[in-house]
Amino acid sequence: MFPMLKVVQYYTPQKVVFGVNAVDNIGQYIKEMGISGKAIIVTDPGVAQAGIAARVVQALKKDGFEAAVFDQGKPEPDNVVCDQAADFARKEAGSFVIGLGGGSAIDIAKVVAQLLVLPGKTEDYLVNTTFPKKGAPIIAVPTTSGTGTECTMYSVVTFAKDGIKGFFATPTILPDMALVDPTLTVSMPPKVTASTGADALSHAIETMMARQENPLTDAIALKAVEFIAEALPVAVYEGDNLEARVKMAYASMMAGMAFNDPGIVEGHALAHTLGSVYHVPHGVGCAVALPYAMEYNMGHCMEKLARIAVALGQNTAGMSVRQAAQVAVQAVKQLLEDVGLPTTWAPFGKKEDIPMLAKMMVESPWITAFYGWSKRPMTREAAVELLTRSYEGRLGDKLY
């Protein structure tokens, strides 16, 4: 339905810098924002070993910035690693924080920027998903093309005590500046390129199915879908193809801008459920969820899925809207399989877990939060059906 009766609001970083080798002038861009003092760079061992952290330190020095590097970030970060990074930042008396890496490093950096000015530990705030005020300035520099976290007000942090994925959702952690330099993604291995690309695709498509979908975010999301369909297989199979990397970097950033306000829906609810239980990379969870989440939502957004089919490069001329929508679902599944991703969770999960997973999908507040963004209410029966179809790889049945 055209959202003429809704109030929508948009948040996006105050400044976005996008371009090849833009990272070499990061100091200049930060200065222009009136930010001064010592930088804390939050990154992970892989990015540090690849020399990317040193490249950023060098670029900062050129403009007179001092920097200290925390390089112990890790994938799917928990509150413990966030606290370690925050302790480092406090000891180093940082003034602002640069998240440099995949979504994980940037998500840690977002928390560190708050804990630089607030007392206590990550878990004190994670239980409420928010911080009481904005912390130190955040600069986000992604080295993968997937999460779009450089442009969002979310940070996904796992509770170390039980492995449950929690998250912060608050404008206080929206980066002040996103600096996206596609050259930083060129060394990403094919598997990471594929799974992070699936994450970006999920953000773009899921936000178009969300309750607060609107013309502005739809336009950005559709362009992201188009870029991903064109560029993801090339980026996976020919990693040093810079044009493909540029398109994927745009797609990831644009999908982040698109979903920041309408949010994401059942695909991520399912991905977070599977991620919390089986600890698969987030993008893999997205890949096994997305086609089924599209079908689950088809009843209320057939026309929109038909437009997604066109953005995916499908020829829908002469088709009914329903046929075109079904083509979109199949094309997404095909694209994910083309880049070597699983499109069922059978390879890493057990079918007998479905009742337990369905319970989690309708009872865990960390999962039900996603339905606040969706149009359809989730029921236990629907959760069982969604889990069953995504386990069996079954598409094309009647709507449920």
Interface positions with Fe ion (CB under 5 A): 199
| Cβ 146 to Fe ion shortest distance, Å | 7
User: Which are the contacts of 249, defined by CB distance < 8 A and separation ≥ 6?
Assistant: 18, 142, 145, 180, 181, 182, 185
d(CA 161, CA 197): 30
- Identify which of residues 199 and 261 has a Cβ nearer to Fe ion in the complex: 199
| Cβ 276 to Fe ion shortest distance, Å | 14
| Cβ 373 to Fe ion shortest distance, Å | 13
Note the Cα 215 to chain centre separation in Å: 21
- Identify which of residues 44 and 199 has a Cβ nearer to Fe ion in the complex: 199
- Identify which of residues 40 and 367 has a Cβ nearer to Fe ion in the complex: 367
Cross-strand partners of 178: 16, 140
d(CA 391, CA 394): 8
| Cβ 148 to Fe ion shortest distance, Å | 8
- Identify which of residues 107 and 199 has a Cβ nearer to Fe ion in the complex: 199
In the bound complex, which residue of the shown chain has the CB atom lying closest to Fe ion? 199
- Identify which of residues 83 and 199 has a Cβ nearer to Fe ion in the complex: 199
User: Which are the contacts of 237, defined by CB distance < 8 A and separation ≥ 6?
Assistant: 190
- Identify which of residues 69 and 194 has a Cβ nearer to Fe ion in the complex: 194
- Identify which of residues 199 and 213 has a Cβ nearer to Fe ion in the complex: 199
Contact between residue 121 and residue 79 where contact means Cβ atoms under 8 Å apart: yes
- Identify which of residues 176 and 199 has a Cβ nearer to Fe ion in the complex: 199
Contact between residue 210 and residue 258 where contact means Cβ atoms under 8 Å apart: no
d(CA 225, CA 240): 21
- Identify which of residues 135 and 197 has a Cβ nearer to Fe ion in the complex: 197
| Cβ 259 to Fe ion shortest distance, Å | 8
Name the phi and psi angles at 265, rounded to 5: -120, -135
Q: 239: which 2 tokens?
A: 């990693």
| Cβ 370 to Fe ion shortest distance, Å | 11
The three-class DSSP label of residue 23 is helix
User: Which are the contacts of 30, defined by CB distance < 8 A and separation ≥ 6?
Assistant: 39, 60, 63, 65, 96, 139, 177
Contact between residue 13 and residue 50 where contact means Cβ atoms under 8 Å apart: no
| Cβ 132 to Fe ion shortest distance, Å | 26
| Cβ 289 to Fe ion shortest distance, Å | 10
| Cβ 193 to Fe ion shortest distance, Å | 15
Residues in the chain: 400
Sign of the dihedral through C-alpha 366, 99, 221, 75: negative
